[in-house]
Structure 1
Amino acid sequence: MFAALTKAARYSIRFTGEGMRVHLVRVGGDTLSAVMTEMVLRAMVPDDWDAVAELVYTSTNYWYASKGAGAIFAGGPDVARVFPEVYEALDPGCCILAVHPRTGRLMGSCFFHPRETHVGLGIMNVHPAHFGTGVARRLLRHITDLADAQGLPVRLVSSAMNLDSFSLYTRAGFVPRRTYQDILLAVPASGLSHDAPGRAQVRSATVADVPAIVALEEELTGIRRGGDFAHFIENRAGIWHVSVLDGRDGLLDAVVASVAHPGSRMVGPGVSRSEAGAAAVLLAELDRHRGHSPVFLVPVECGDLVRQIYGWGGRNVEMHVHQVRGACPPFSGVTLPSFMPETG
């Protein structure tokens, strides 16, 4: 429609409202109006979980397939229920849906995670039929408005392959702060035969470790999310585990969690004071995924750690960027973010 109009005469484009209506203004003449995609925003409810899981599964796989990459999810849409299930357990009511005002069908969804120090932006999905129609921009603005009202920065880890996504976030004020290699490692059924200095000092975390975990992450990244690590350690869903590396004077030197679910098998989130400490907890946590191929993220500047992981059999599958909108304390040590959950 727009192409036909602009071929007939010269027009300038002026957006009004929430980007839902566009005026095509003829230079020196009258004004024509055209309606862009309209949507209604509302919170997700339990009856939406299956539809949201299908949206996450379909839109994610569609995007990667369109770029010549393999599917991210396999096994059918039910595996993506991990997102509403986990995120509602962590942050009830913190998923915004964009729905068609007439049909009620899902056009897009985005999870978000309010924390004491920041808001984490979770997975954002738009139905392929609505790619490029402003759905993601509207969902993002809703969440950044909520964060602005609380005076909190917004943090996310986004794909460096997806330039549309990268542009969406940087146009909204996000600034890239750290780049990561996504590494996949096939763990033999018999376990990993490798070793790393400090591996013997790695142990399973307990709830009593949460204050020390919070202190370590705040020291290295400036954020606090103790409830997340308590959730992983309590492991009521039966899909989490957390490893810690003991340091001196009752402090921790490293921590990393992992999730084992058909919809998400990842190691992270975690932090470490050093690359050696990161290697120790990563090796311990990876070994818990015997017979599977978990993915984990490592900062590109951690050259010694990356080379060590290559020696274990790790291979690069993608790259991601840590972006922050608002205040961002300097990163120190090694950060090991995750897509499940995306809370830091």
Structure 2
Amino acid sequence: MIPWDRISEDRMSQSGFHLRSMQPEDRDEIARLIYHSTNAYYESIGRDRIFQGDELQPGEMFDVYQQIDPGEGIVAVDDATQQIIGSCFVHPRETHFSLGIMNAHADHFGRGVARTILAEIIRRAQEQQKPIRLVSSCFNLDSYSLYTRAGFVPFATYQDMFLEVPEAGLPFDPPNDIGVRPAELSDIDAIRELEQQVSGITRVSDYRYFIENPDGLWTGF
């Protein structure tokens, strides 16, 4: 973890805001920021709001990431109001940095909030001599521009797929030579080796969190 007080003074104040690490007490404010800034973007391009209902719903993201990567996320705070106007979850791993959900408050577009947060993440990754990976939606041209201007290059395309599975399950059995069972902590080394072979990265803290499942949200196989 790189604590906020290691962010140098020239990065601490940019256009009337400063950066610091996420703290547990930021949960609700970050949840609201994610909820409203994401909905504002989708509405601006003529699409339906992606979040519905309780504005604290995205707090589940904060809870998960705080358990896996406590203190690694970054927030931008307005100097005058102390309002959180930007946030990004950061996931340092053995082989790379993963850049998580980036949000900037709709009322503060144009102040360089996301750009400044991204620059700090790049600095941290360079300090540890690790590459940065991210998954970005093709629908969001603003974020695509942000990342490409910072030097990111797309190298793979993913297509979202939604499959409706009957409550009783699919009407066929798996191949005889393939067994499926719940993942166990003793599987972590094998999972790490498999992902290293497939994609060239490892994420041991992620495997451990999903297998231990402290929040009862996940099932791993």
After TM superposition, is the score higher than 0.5?
yes
1:91 corresponds to 2:64: no
CA contact 2:42–2:48 (8 Å) conserved in 1:
yes
Three-state SS of the structure 1 residue aligned to 2:190 is helix
Query: 1:261-312: CA deviations, max 9, x gaps?
Result: xxxxxxxxxxxxxxxxxxxxxxxxxxxxxxxxxxxxxxxxxxxxxxxxxxxx
Residue 104 (structure 2) aligns with? 126
Residue 231 (structure 1) aligns with? 209
1:107-186 correspondence runs (5 A): 107-186=85-164
Residue 186 (structure 2) aligns with? 208
1:67 to partner: Cα distance? 1.6
Query: 1:222-255: CA deviations, max 9, x gaps?
Result: 1111121111011111001112xxxxxxxxxxxx
Alignment partners' CA distance in 2, 1:74 and 1:205: 33
Three-state SS of the structure 2 residue aligned to 1:52 is helix
Q: Which structure has the bigger radius of gyration? A: 1
Three-state SS of the structure 2 residue aligned to 1:237 is coil
Q: What runs of 5+ residues in structure 2 fail to find an aligned partner?
A: 1-9
Three-state SS of the structure 1 residue aligned to 2:160 is strand
Alignment partners' CA distance in 1, 2:151 and 2:100: 17
* Letter of the structure 2 residue corresponding to residue 143 of structure 1: I
Q: Please, which of 74, 78, 82 is the counterpart of residue 104 of structure 1? A: 82
Greater per-residue helix proportion:
2
Three-state SS of the structure 2 residue aligned to 1:124 is strand
Three-state SS of the structure 2 residue aligned to 1:241 is coil
Query: 1:151-184: CA deviations, max 9, x gaps?
Result: 1101000011111111111111111110011122
1:187 to partner: Cα distance? 3.3
Matched residues, percent identical? 49
Q: Please, which of 57, 60, 66 is the counterpart of residue 38 of structure 2? A: 60
Structure 1 residues 70, 194: CA separation in 2 closer, same or farther (over 3 Å shift)?
farther
Query: 1:56-112: CA deviations, max 9, x gaps?
Result: 111112211222222222231221011211111001101111111010011100110
* Letter of the structure 2 residue corresponding to residue 102 of structure 1: A
Alignment partners' CA distance in 1, 2:110 and 2:168: 47
Residue 53 (structure 2) aligns with? 75
Alignment partners' CA distance in 2, 1:198 and 1:204: 18
CA contact 2:16–2:80 (8 Å) conserved in 1:
no
Alignment partners' CA distance in 1, 2:203 and 2:109: 33
Q: Please, which of 166, 169, 174 is the counterpart of residue 191 of structure 1? A: 169
Question: What is the root-mean-square deviation of aligned Cα atoms in Å?
Answer: 1.9
Greater per-residue strand proportion:
1
Q: What runs of 5+ residues in structure 1 fail to find an aligned partner?
A: 1-16, 22-36, 244-344
Three-state SS of the structure 2 residue aligned to 1:41 is strand
Normalised by the length of structure 2, the TM-score is 0.89
Alignment partners' CA distance in 2, 1:74 and 1:194: 36
Three-state SS of the structure 2 residue aligned to 1:107 is strand
Normalised by the length of structure 1, the TM-score is 0.58
Query: 1:37-73: CA deviations, max 9, x gaps?
Result: 4211111111111000110111112211222222222
Alignment partners' CA distance in 1, 2:47 and 2:172: 30
Alignment partners' CA distance in 2, 1:38 and 1:114: 28
* Letter of the structure 1 residue corresponding to residue 91 of structure 2: H
Three-state SS of the structure 1 residue aligned to 2:29 is helix
1:130 to partner: Cα distance? 1.5
